[in-house]
Amino acid sequence: MFSHRASIASALHSFRIEGHMLCYNNFVPKLYNWCLALGFTPGKIMPSRAFCSDESQGFPIILIAKHFGAFPFNHGRVGGIVSVERHGPHADHGKDLLLVQASHVGYNPETAEFGVYRRLHAEHEHMSCSCGKIGNILKWYQTEYRYACENIRLLRHEGQLAVLIDYQLIASPRAQGLFLIFENLVQGAMGEELPPPLSVRSTGHIFAASSHLIARLGVDTWPQSGSVAIGSHLAAEDFYFRHKGGHLDPLQDQLENNLLAPMPWILTSKHPFLTAACANTMVEFDRTFRSLVQSSAMNGKNLLFLAGLNIDISPNPGEHFPLTKFVPWAAYLQHADGQREIFEQDELIERLGSVGSDNPAQIDIERAIETMANKPPTEVRL
């Protein structure tokens, strides 16, 4: 999905949020009605979800069960990773199949901050990280990025515009860490090869600043004396990461693998948690789509796979659930006769908008529970 650096920024920019959000209360019945319009059989649709394990994802699951009449099969791992090896069991449980994948990100409407969520069942109902899996992954990269922002410094050396780069950032070889694209910063650099430094300091080397960096930052960014950290002027195009996963279970590393290439754009974005969740959804759609196409279990099945983003708007004290909004990204449709179709974001919004949100077939969950509670005891014989 993110195989070429030049395409990463445009790919992330293509995931639009504003004007593309649907409240789950309207989204799920629309999704059900769209399935019927596609020829799916009422009462024979087995939904499945690939959501994070966070409790904030419970309300969407309840709504899926309510409108499709079946508790959704579980395709998901923490962080919204799809367990593609579960396609076969899912296919065995229904005539027609629906799979909804969503990465998620918390949102605090009071501060307009992404990546936080109010934990109603904690003692003091505090805000904490959401999605916590993404937050845990980001920490290491944020530390590396902050170090680079502080330890690449702009200065003038004998009247020449220059950069002082810390030894740790030019040390080679390194198995992991933040790696600079030197030609963006240093005049005369080629690939990983640096020119001779203008001067050597105790903790780094001074190089002539590249014309690219000077044009981008402007001459006035350089101080007349002393040095200043490059800070947020260190752009996503100036660096990349290498990081080695260490889990025995490959899916434990899948989320980090999904975020590795776009990580510079994630860290330098206005909302890193939001950007990370979008990037993960984009990769998971591509990865899961390819696994579904190759799965023999899906032969002869009507299948709709829909990927997007869950934005969990923190509940206020006294509220039981978040107001969750869904942002569709893409969908893959496979008909039982083998015909296949991909819906991109704008067309997907249009298709969902073309169907109603009234669903007479939805089940009354409270009544269904009451029916089971009043059912005569059934003996289980051993």
Q: What is the pLDDT of residues 5-64, one digit of tens each?
A: 778 889 999 999 999 999 999 999 999 999 999 999 999 999 999 999 999 999 999 999
Checking if the pLDDT of 337 tops 70, the result is yes
Rounded Cα gap, residues 273 and 262, in angstroms: 12
345 Ramachandran zone, left/alpha/beta (phi>0; psi -120 to 50): alpha
pLDDT digits (tens, 9 = 90+) for 72-84: 999 999 999 999 9
CA–CA separation, 157 and 20 (whole Å): 51
Give the tens place of pLDDT for each residue, 153-207.
Answer: 999 999 999 999 999 999 878 889 999 999 999 999 998 899 999 999 999 999 9
Token pair of 299 as six digits:
């032969």
pLDDT at residue 332 tops 70 = yes
| Helices 5-13/272-293 angle, 10° precision | 100
Q: Using alpha carbons, list the distances in angstroms from residue 116 to 80, 95, 252, 300, 314.
A: 17, 39, 22, 43, 8
Q: What share of the chain is helix, strand, coil (3-state, %, to 5)?
A: 40, 25, 35
Helix (H) or strand (E) holding 285: helix 272-293
pLDDT, average across residues 93-105: 97
Q: What is the pTM assigned to this prediction?
A: 0.93
What pLDDT does 4 receive?
72
Q: State yes or no: pLDDT of 1 exceeds 90.
A: no
Q: How many whole angstroms separate alpha carbon 113 and alpha carbon 271?
A: 8
Residues 109-138 pLDDT 10s: 999 999 999 888 888 888 889 899 999 999
Task: Give the model's pLDDT for residue 246.
Answer: 63
pLDDT digits (tens, 9 = 90+) for 234-266: 999 999 999 876 665 666 689 999 999 999 999
pLDDT in tens, 284-303: 999 999 999 999 999 999 99
Tell whether the model's pLDDT for residue 316 goes beyond 90.
no
Task: Report DSSP state, residue 74.
Answer: E
Residues 6+ apart with CB under 8 A from 63: 24, 25, 28
Which of residues 377 and 332 earns the better pLDDT score?
332
Tell me how far apart the alpha carbons of residues 280 and 93 are, in angstroms, rounded to a whole number.
27
Give CA–CA dist 203/210, Å, rounded: 21
pLDDT (0 to 100) of residue 171:
85
In the prediction, which pLDDT does 3 show?
65
Task: Please say if the pLDDT value at position 322 is more than 90.
Answer: no
Q: What's residue 102's pLDDT?
A: 97
Q: What is the DSSP string of 104-171?
A: EEEEETTTTEESEEE-TTSTT--EEESSHHHHHHHHHHHHHHHHHHHHEEEEEETTEEEEEEEHHHH-
